[in-house]
Amino acid sequence: MTTNTLRSALLTNVIATVIATATAVISFGAQAADPPVSAAEQVVVPQVDRRDIALPRFPSNDFEVGTFIGSYATQNFGTSLVGGLRLGYHITEDFFVEGVYAQTKVSDEIFRRVFPGAGIFAAEQEKLTYYNLSAGYNVLPGEVFIGGKRAKPAALYVIGGVGSTKFDHQRRPTYNFGVGYRVFLADWVALQVDMRDHIFSLDLLGVRQTTQNLEWTGGLSVFF
């Protein structure tokens, strides 16, 4: 082997040794720069199981059903006991609609006293029934205090509507309007007082006239 060949082989071995050493140094430096992650620093990925939850259904309490009793003053005939049923729907916190059916018995005793044996009706009493559909508005919602520490939700409202009245075999279109006051004893029950004027025409004495018939009632309503 010549001198040049020996020199080339020796140079090749030196270069290979330098490259291997540099590679080892770089690899060691990278490992030293990135220390191993401890168990406390490891990222935990939670395993969440999806569950179906049934949401509770809360009543809206928009519907109202109730009963009432009071007095009905029929023009020309005096005052009599009246009773009826009420069904309502509260559109918003302020506006509501309701339908009412009620009846009373009207006496012609006054005429029989003045003209003995000449009553207006065939019998001494004649049944009067009416129904109406009305719209109301809570003008003064608020609270009413019972004692010094208890307060109940309440509202003053105005109301008006149309309907029909049947009296002495006559059925007449009827307009009604009035005011009322409602006090909630709980979320589902309320007491209320109501004053209405029922206006309809009537022909009992041979002359048709428009009558004003005032009604005062108190009642209990349940909301659902």
Q: Which of 202, 181, 176, 177 shows the shortest CA–CA distance to 191?
A: 181
β-pairing, 189-203 vs 208-223, is antiparallel
The pLDDT value recorded for residue 224 is 93
Asked if residue 188 lies in contact with residue 224, where contact means CB atoms within 8 angstroms, the answer is: yes
Distance CA 216, CA 193 (A): 8
Domain residue limits, the chain: 1-29, 63-223
**Backbone CA torsion sign across 120, 121, 122, 124:** negative
Q: Which two tokens stand for residue 82?
A: 């009246």
The pLDDT value recorded for residue 61 is 86
The length of the chain in residues reads 224
145 pairs with which residues across the strands? 151
- Stretches in the chain below the pLDDT threshold 70: 1-14, 16-42, 54-59, 117, 119
Sequence-ordered list of residues with C-beta below 8 angstroms from that of 206, at least 6 positions apart, any chain: none
Helix or strand run (H / E) with residue 18: helix 3-33
β-pairing, 63-74 vs 125-146, is unpaired
Distance CA 89, CA 17 (A): 96
Pick the CATH number of 63-223 from 3.40.50.300, 3.40.50.2300, 2.40.40.20, 2.40.160.20: 2.40.160.20
The pLDDT value recorded for residue 146 is 84
The pLDDT value recorded for residue 45 is 77
The string of pLDDT tens digits covering residues 46-103 is: 777 777 776 655 457 899 999 999 999 999 888 999 999 999 999 999 999 999 999 9
β-pairing, 95-107 vs 125-146, is antiparallel
